[in-house]
Amino acid sequence: MSGSPPLVEAYDLEKVYPDGTVAVRGVSFRAGRGLTIFMGPNGSGKTTTLSITAGALRPTSGRVLVCGYDVWGRDWSRPRSCIGYAPQAMPFREKLSVIENLTWYGLIRGLPPWESRRRARWLLEQLGLEGLERKKVSELSGGQRRRLTIAASLIGDPEVLILDEPTSGLDPKARASLWSLLRRVAGDKAIIASTHIPDEAEGADYVYIFHRGRVVAEGAPGELIGRYVRYSRVIVKGSGLEVAPTMEWARLVEAGWDRAVYVTEDPEEALPRLVERLLKLGARIERVEVRKPGLAEVFLAVTGEAPEGGA
């Protein structure tokens, strides 16, 4: 985890459903202030782990401490007061307005009516929803609804923010905008969020990679990439590229009429030699793209499977 003291600590979490389905097994993690990402495909155990951590789903075994208190212990109300939780489907009252829904969530968190409304207006402004106070939730776009979900999780000013796939269904530009807003509005809170998109996880302070109910790798994004992947991809586009050969310093992984893909540890050295060789073989080259390794390649290295959101 990041260098800050942990606000969340989980030990050997396991969830087995009555039909024998194992959702998570042996999951342990820690999260301090900053952004911690759970990365993995749908069904890998991310949502179950977040639900257990937020106090919404009781584990079969294991323990979670939030702000020093056991989420499932006798003092269960204390850790829950530290948590702001945004599941994928936030239960809003569709026919009420944006400000009414958000104020209602503030009242649930124990805020006085005037403070709840004041904080609701501030959050709407911070998250780019100003001017929509009177609009019904049922009339919001997908992106606006996602921002309102984050606002609802922040209304009680929690120290720990737990977000399940906060950018699901958004286009790349909207995803980037939402992450930027989230980091700014949340400040120094501990944010734990899930995603199946490797590019999003690369912006985290610390990443846990989930696969089939277990954590299979963890570390800062740069550390993970350096530990598991050393090669870059060179993507050549044009025509006649079915002639592309494997070379000692650049391994061919894909070849077709209009595209060839190589992996190499040193793209700066390999690129000019590669282009020269392909031209001699009669290929026509229109564009060459070098992609540095990322968490998509890390996921492939540690699981043997390509991630859902990989390039």
In terms of CATH architecture, what is 8-227? 3-Layer(aba) Sandwich (3.40)
Q: Where are the domains of the chain?
A: 8-227, 231-292
Distances (CA, A) of 165 to 195, 196, 286: 5, 8, 37
Closest CA to 252 of 279, 239, 233, 268: 233
CATH number 3.30.450 is the correct assignment for the domain at 231-292: no
Note the pLDDT of residue 121.
94
How large is the angle between the packed helices 142-154 and 113-126, nearest 10 degrees? 140
C-alpha dihedral, 168 to 174 to 177 to 183, nearest 10°: -10
* One-letter amino acid for residue 18 of the chain: P
* One-letter amino acid for residue 41 of the chain: P
Distances (CA, A) of 77 to 3, 82, 217: 28, 9, 32
- pLDDT tens profile 108-161: 999 999 999 999 999 999 888 988 999 999 999 988 998 999 999 999 999 999
Query: Quick check: 9 and 191 in contact, CB under 8 A?
Result: no
Its pTM stands at: 0.84
Which tokens belong to 92? 């809003």
Backbone angles phi, psi at 234, to 5 degrees: -115, 115
pLDDT at 3 over 60: no
